[in-house]
Amino acid sequence: MGSVERPEPLRLGSVAPNFKADTTKGPIDFHEFIGNNWVVLFSHPEDYTPVCTTELGAFAKLEPEFARRGVKLIGLSANTIESHGGWIKDINEIAGSDLQFPIIGDKQRQVALAYDMLDHQDATNVDSKGIAFTIRSVFVIDPNKKIRTILSYPASTGRNSAEVLRIVDSLQTGDKWRVTTPINWVPGDDVIVAPPVKTEEAQKLWPDLKIIKPYLRTTPLPKEKTSAA
């Protein structure tokens, strides 16, 4: 029995595969859509499903925060565009949101396959024809079209929209200041000076540098200097 051709696995640093697709805001070429922006692409198993409805409402409410950071949101669901339209009305009604970002119609799973968003083990996560639905994937993509973060959640578990925003803040702040962010970091907390920055240079850059261990050097970084400002 021939196995289905699976694309090369996507890793952090891979270029986000390009695709053309219909969305609730019209047809797009994904790389053109990215342009010079950061993008968060996230998938949902199906329209009119309870967990997805709560998620999209939460992302719609946070969209202005993403926009302030130069981030575009784009959703994906394994249904048709026509179906998405009615669902968006429900989402806005339930969440009190105003969902503006596009949602890709991926009935044929073209994008889901390219991004390996399919469930390998949950036999219940399928449509009426037995075709696997998408899992809850999140891809954070930078302006160079590079994938910087991949999250995969099962269909049963809703995501944390604040965590996706926190990841964006960590990546954007880190790129700007050559720092890394410790466990549970939120903008305004101390950051870690990236290992390649020598201590001598770090002390010039960060007058309040604290050397906890030679390999663990922290500095305050006010929220105003992070991408959350």
What are the catalytic residues? Answer: 52
CA proximity to 156, closest of 130, 125, 121, 116: 125
SS3 188: coil
Contact present, 61 and 32 (Cβ < 8 Å): no
Q: What is the dihedral of CA 79, 80, 84, 86, to 10 degrees?
A: -120
**Coil/strand/helix, residue 220:** coil
Q: Measured between alpha carbons, how far is 1 from 146 in angstroms, rounded to an integer?
A: 35
Handedness of CA 189, 176, 196, 199 (dihedral sign): negative
Instruction: Give the pair of three-digit tokens for residue 183.
Output: 């466990």
Coil, helix or strand for 224? helix
Residue 116 near residue 10, CB atoms below 8 Å: yes
CA-based R_g, the chain, Å: 20
E-strand ranges in 38-126 read 38-44, 71-77, 103-105
